[in-house]
Structure 1
């Protein structure tokens, strides 16, 4: 069972840059559910999309897999024969806890977990690639090359699912959606202090792109379509198809 996220509930003399360490892992399910509008829907539909586009004898990647929510969502679906799910995360604490979570799951689709840098991995024979709130933590100068490598590894008919916190090019719209997101967090029990301190911790760690930037990057890399299928405030999920 997840602990309640109270990491920023007391005033901090120094706010360190946000890291996916053991303290975050211990409260992560509560943190992301109370912080990301639409998160349960995105995770549930990740599995549905995977079931639609997964191909027999192929790999399904979950990049930045954290505690394995997207893996479990895909694994619960009737996937084609000889599919393999590969989860990759650069946080040792996340991977260790993810293994424990998967040990309690009775579904039988094979899963391989790796603790690695997703920008340094070689990908192949993919029919589904998932990056749920992952690309935003990759250094901006590495994002184009990563997406190009992922699209190159996709089979024809394969998909990428990319969910992100996004920015808006119009300043007033960007501010409105940030304000709505902060109100969402307050209504989920976070105090103004928690909202402010978490924002300071994650600033310069989570770097947002616009939806337009994401779409252009995917199309330039060789996807034939890239469209938003879910959005709530400044959180969006895009599905991109390689025909």
Structure 2
């Protein structure tokens, strides 16, 4: 039974900055599915893409893994021999529940890739050589001045032919495009049962901690980090997913 997200359902005198605490971890599967257009498609496709580029005996990283949805998809799709996944998140509540979800997956499916779940700051993590890195809806929570350094480290860690799978909410230089896609995003939330109060309070909570970039900014930064080819493979309203190829 998945708990329903009602964190912002009642009026709050002062809306605090959004944090990935136990309250969020408890309702996160419901929250993310009702808040991010195309989220189930992005997660399952992340596993499919990883399955195409993971090389035998290599590591796969899921950075900012939250509850491990991408890791679970990777384990369903990767067939290369000897691969293993390292899933990393800095929030203890998310890591604890991630381990529970992966243990449940182990109980249902045999011969899955081994996974190590780490509680760590991905900016301080020394990445080992790997064939696939997943960075889904994580970069937007990192200080803008630190993003290029992280991407450069990821590029240097990737084996020849390796890929970075990156998903983010987008900002838009064109005000008309930005406002219309934001309007559609809010319509998506309403269609999924969120009230105007919930939408407004969540926006207040997250706007100081989540700082999205434009698609052009992402593309240029990825190229600056070393990725010669950057391919957008999915967009739904103001959310987009890219592959960076080494």
Bigger mean CA offset, 184-193 vs 168-177? 168-177
- 1:80 is aligned to 80
Q: Could you list the runs of 5+ residues in structure 2 that have no partner in the other structure?
A: none
In 2, the alpha carbon distance for the partners of 1:124 and 1:22 equals 30
> Which residue in the other structure is 2:28 paired with?
28
Matches of 1:162 and 1:2 in 2, distance apart? 27
Distance 1:152 1:78, change over 3 A: closer
Q: Deviations over 1:141-200 (max 9, x none)?
A: 110000000000001110001000010111121111111101110111000000000000
Q: Following superposition of structure 1 onto structure 2, how do residues 54-69 of structure 1 map, counting pairs within 5 Å?
A: 54-69=54-69
TM-score by length of 1: 0.98
- Residue 16 (1) aligns with residue 20 (2): no
Match of 1:194 among 188, 198, 205: 198
Report the secondary structure of 1:37's partner residue: coil
For residue 79 of structure 1, report the CA deviation from its aligned partner. Answer: 2.2
User: What is the count of residue pairs matched by the alignment?
Assistant: 242
1:213 aligns with 217
CA displacement at 1:28 relative to structure 2: 0.2
CA distance in 1, matches of 2:137, 2:78: 25
Partner of 1:224: 228
Q: Is the 8 A contact 2:151 2:222 kept in 1?
A: yes
Matching residue of 1:92:
92
Give the drift of 1:220. Answer: 1.1
Indicate which of 117, 124, 127 corresponds to 1:113. 117
Deviation of 1:219 after TM superposition, in Å, equals 1.0
Following the alignment from structure 1 to structure 2, what is the Cα–Cα distance between the partners of residues 81 and 89? Answer: 26
RMSD (CA atoms): 0.8
Normalising by structure 2, we get a TM-score of: 0.97
- The residue aligned with 2:151 is 147
Q: Kindly report structure 1 stretches of 4+ aligned residues shifted beyond 4 Å.
A: none
Secondary structure of the residue aligned to 2:87 is strand
Unpaired segments of 5 or more residues in structure 1? none
SS of the aligned residue for 1:112 comes to: strand
Cα distance in 2 between the residues matched to 1:70 and 1:84: 14
Cα distance between partner residues in 1 of 2:231 and 2:135: 15
Deviation digits for residues 24-69 of structure 1, max 9, x if unmatched? 0000000000000000100010011000000111110001101110
Deviates more, 1:189-198 or 1:214-223: 214-223
Contact 2:54 2:78 in 1 (8 A): no
| d(CA) in 2 for partners of 1:147, 1:137 | 14
Q: Is the partner of 2:170 in helix, strand or coil? A: strand
